Amino acid sequence: MRQMAYRPHFFLMVFGKVVRMALMLLFFQAVFLKIDRLGQWAFDQVLLLFATFHLVDYVMSITFQRNLSFHLPALIQSGNLDSRLTLPVHPLFMASLEHIDMMDFISFIPCLGLLGYAVYRLDVAFTWLHALMYGLLIVNALVFLFAVVLIIATTSFWTTQSAGLARVFDDLTRVGRYPLDIFEGFWKFLFIYVLPLALISQVPSQALLGALAPGFLLYAVACSGLLAVIAIRFWRTGLNTYSSTSS
């Protein structure tokens, strides 16, 4: 309601987000005017990858990203976290979901349309099992991103600020828009095994296309699960060391 009180501003913001997606699509289209495939990925498959990335990215933006990356450090700096800790609600739940960004929810709708269009164009007879795996791996991608963002945000208990590192990671996640076949050697190893950005969109897309190896499915789930456990324990450590303004 606050955003829509200034309607020209509201619609221009939505328009700007759609334009950013459209420009990236034009980039991919320009690339595929010169080549038939990008590694193992045809244009329709890259379209699915791109739509999947933005689906995950918008859900993250709507829910926990800004809360943990920017709102939580501000609460720690101002001491307003004290009042949140006295509320009868889990502090991690409050820190992650206190503000829901409905602005990005409006931008999320065209993304769903793009995903439907990408699935329509695919010349692949995927099964309900593939669709179920796709949905589960979308959730798995969000768990992975939540864990990384939480680890970065928790450092605010010692530094009182983590926005810079959060912005670096946000820029790094943009790699997930591209097929990782464009990377070789060290960089491919980095984005699959060290900082597995492949979990964001490539792994779910491969599952829907029926091209995901069962071993990599287990790796993806285990990686996100382990990172989530580490992130939650790190959060508890940070919360236990927090010195409130009233102490």
Three-state secondary-structure class, residue 88: coil
Which of 106, 89, 94 lies closest to 68, judged by CA?
A: 94
To the nearest whole percent, how much of the chain has pLDDT over 90?
36
Upper half-sphere CA count for residue 119 (Cβ side, 13 Å): 16
User: Please, what is the end-to-end C-alpha distance for the chain in angstroms?
Assistant: 38
The predicted-structure confidence for 77-125, as pLDDT tens digits, reads as follows 888 888 888 889 899 999 999 988 877 787 788 888 888 888 888 877 7
The predicted-structure confidence for 181-234, as pLDDT tens digits, reads as follows 888 888 888 888 888 999 999 999 999 988 888 888 999 999 999 999 999 999
Q: Structure tokens of 242?
A: 């927090």
Tokens 């993250």 -> residue: 60
To the nearest whole percent, how much of the chain has pLDDT over 70?
98
- Whether 235 has a pLDDT exceeding 90, the answer reads yes
Q: Within 10 A of 136 (CB to CB), how many other CB atoms are there?
A: 15
Q: How confident is the model at residue 43 (pLDDT cuts 50, 70, 90)?
A: confident
The predicted-structure confidence for 6-21, as pLDDT tens digits, reads as follows 778 778 877 887 787 7
Dihedral sign for Cα atoms in the order 45, 107, 139, 96: positive
Q: What pTM, to 2 d.p., does this model score? A: 0.88
Specify which residues 41 forms β-bridges with.
38
- The confidence score (pLDDT) of residue 224 equals 96
Mean pLDDT of 36-50: 86
Whether residue 147 contacts residue 231, with contact meaning beta carbons closer than 8 Å, is answered with yes
| DSSP tag of 195 | S
Mean pLDDT of 55-72: 92
| DSSP tag of 190 | I
Question: What is the maximum span of the chain, computed from C-alpha positions, in angstroms?
Answer: 64
Q: Structure tokens of 152?
A: 């970065």
The predicted-structure confidence for 134-190, as pLDDT tens digits, reads as follows 999 999 999 999 999 999 999 999 887 777 888 888 888 888 888 888 888 888 888
Cβ contacts of residue 130 below 8 Å, gap of 6+? 207, 208, 209, 210
- Whether 246 has a pLDDT exceeding 70, the answer reads no
What one-letter code names the amino acid at 155?
T
